Amino acid sequence: MDFHRFANPARFMRMSIPLLRVLAPAAAVLLALGLVLGFQVPPDYKQGMTVLIMFIHVPAAWMAMFAYAFLAAASAVALVWRHPLAEVAAVEAAPLGAGFTALCLITGSLWGAKMWGTWWVWDARLTSVLVLFFLYLGYLALAHAFDDRQRGLRAASVLALVGAVNLPIIKFSVDWWNTLHQPASVFRLGGPTLSTVYLWPLLTMALGFTLLFAWLLVLRMRAHLMERKIETLRLVAIETRQTVQPQEALS
């Protein structure tokens, strides 16, 4: 596959404009619909109305893992093929993934305080998601830790690839260890165990979160490329001014 067909920043800037016009309203509609459907569900026989937290917590958890998988894939493309837009995509996906992970941890703590009687336990699932949050922070720190931007991005990309081993640990932690966290109830071999009255709002919110991630990612990538262009133009202007001044002095 010729990845370099899409490596032209100018082409990306052109293609992203109609994409943004579609993603923003689609994400807004799905999120609004998911919230409306969510607030109409009956109380769960065990959780009561605490079940509403699920419609934020579960999509945030899915997006935390999806964003990191995207980050690792983009980092691999950047390392192997030196794809410039892959580097931009990875750098701009990391803060979004960290935000979704933080939202997952916060809403999970709110749910745990009500259902488990504690805000936090060193459960395998919770701990591995916390590690995921630190991996995001580590990636961002490494990406900006060096004066040489490319060196920092390469180091961050290596961390992203190594950290990807945490994704299957998060996914299968409830199966491998005896944990408080309940096992999967949607994506499982035997089919969803969740009632459709809860399943449809949950899937609607999940799709809305996915489109929100895509919209924010494209928006951040555009801003990143614009900043680079402005920086390049500023450097060119400085070099031009430094070249012209000595010539004027000689004349």
List the Cα angle 232/237/238 in 5-degree steps: 100
Question: What SS3 state is found at 41?
Answer: coil
Strand partners of residue 48: 44
The whole-number pLDDT of residue 244 equals 65
| Residue 139, in any domain of the structure | yes
The whole-number pLDDT of residue 238 equals 83
The whole-number pLDDT of residue 240 equals 79
Instruction: Provide block-wise average pLDDT over 10 residues at a time, the chain (251 residues).
Output: 63 93 97 95 87 94 97 95 90 98 96 91 93 98 90 95 96 82 67 81 96 98 93 83 64 58
| Residue 186, in any domain of the structure | no
| Residue 185, in any domain of the structure | no
The whole-number pLDDT of residue 130 equals 97
C-alpha–C-alpha distance, residues 206 and 184, integer Å:
15
DSSP state of 189: T
Per the CB < 8 A criterion, the answer to whether 68 and 97 are in contact is yes
The whole-number pLDDT of residue 59 equals 96
Note the pTM of the prediction, 2 decimals.
0.90
The whole-number pLDDT of residue 218 equals 97
Task: Cite the DSSP H helix spans in 52-195.
Answer: 54-81, 84-115, 124-143, 149-163, 166-176
Dihedral of CA atoms 69, 166, 134, 221 in degrees, nearest 10, equals -10
The whole-number pLDDT of residue 195 equals 83
Q: Tokens 């190594």 map to which residue?
A: 162
CA distances from 81 to 2, 4, 73, 78, 87 (A): 10, 8, 12, 6, 10
CB atoms within 10 A of CB 135: 24
- Token reading at 190: 């035997």
Per the CB < 8 A criterion, the answer to whether 137 and 98 are in contact is yes
The whole-number pLDDT of residue 216 equals 98
Residue 212: name the closest of 66, 36, 106, 54 by CA.
66
- Token reading at 136: 């995001």
Residue 205 dihedral angles phi and psi, to the nearest 5° = -65, -40
Question: What is the number of structural domains in the chain?
Answer: 1
First to last CA, the chain: 55
- Token reading at 47: 């959780």
Residue 217: name the closest of 8, 1, 16 by CA.
16
Question: What SS3 state is found at 40?
Answer: coil
The whole-number pLDDT of residue 1 equals 45
Question: What SS3 state is found at 195?
Answer: coil
Q: How far is CA 216 from the centre of its chain?
A: 9
Owning domain of residue 213:
3-179+192-250
